[in-house]
């Protein structure tokens, strides 16, 4: 190919490479957590990390109304320890609803953590029907919801 034609296609090649690189950046899997449990979640909160795959357990302190905008989510606040409370946002369009969550009851979970000043949100507490994201779950009163 003569050099003048190469110059003609160079901007297109650059745009394609930028597009493919951006897709990799925005659609990458969450980073795995080296240490599991509440300690890793507390560390993610302190370091203001998001897109972190976590597991933990705590006590339900408040059951919130379902979020019905877009995909529906069952929501409740869970206290992990004296320092941290997180919001669990469980997608009930993809997973069964947790039966009768109640304040004072223990719940275990696995999902993706997103940092915010209030303590953060754990979502992706369900299976991924496309198989691209690590599956999450909730364990409440001996029943696993995914």
Nearest to 88 by CA among 44, 43, 54, 128: 54
Q: How far is 75 from 67, CA to CA, in rounded Å? A: 7
Total-model pTM = 0.75
What pairs with residue 95 in β-bridges? none
Cβ proximity of 90 and 125 under 8 Å: yes
Structural domains of the chain, with CATH: 37-145 (2.40.50.200)
Nearest to 92 by CA among 111, 74, 110: 74
pLDDT for 82? 77
pLDDT for 26? 46
pLDDT band at 129 (very low <50, low <70, confident <90, very high): confident
Mean pLDDT computed over 126-145:
92
Q: How far is 124 from 95, CA to CA, in rounded Å? A: 10
């Amino acid at each position: 190919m003569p050099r003048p034609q190469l110059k003609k296609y160079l901007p297109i090649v650059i745009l394609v490479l930028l597009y493919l690189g951006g897709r990799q950046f925005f659609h990458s899997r969450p980073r795995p957590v080296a240490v599991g449990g509440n300690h890793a979640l507390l560390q993610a909160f302190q370091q203001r990390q998001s897109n972190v795959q976590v597991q933990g357990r705590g006590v339900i302190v408040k059951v919130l109304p379902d979020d019905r905008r877009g995909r529906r989510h069952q929501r409740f606040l869970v206290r992990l320890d004296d320092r941290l409370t997180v919001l669990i946002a469980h997608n009930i369009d993809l997973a069964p609803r947790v039966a009768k969550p109640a304040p004072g009851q223990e719940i275990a979970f696995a999902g993706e953590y997103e940092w915010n000043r209030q303590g953060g949100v754990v979502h992706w507490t369900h299976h991924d029907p496309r198989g691209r994201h690590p599956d999450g779950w909730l364990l409440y009163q001996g029943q696993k919801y995914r």
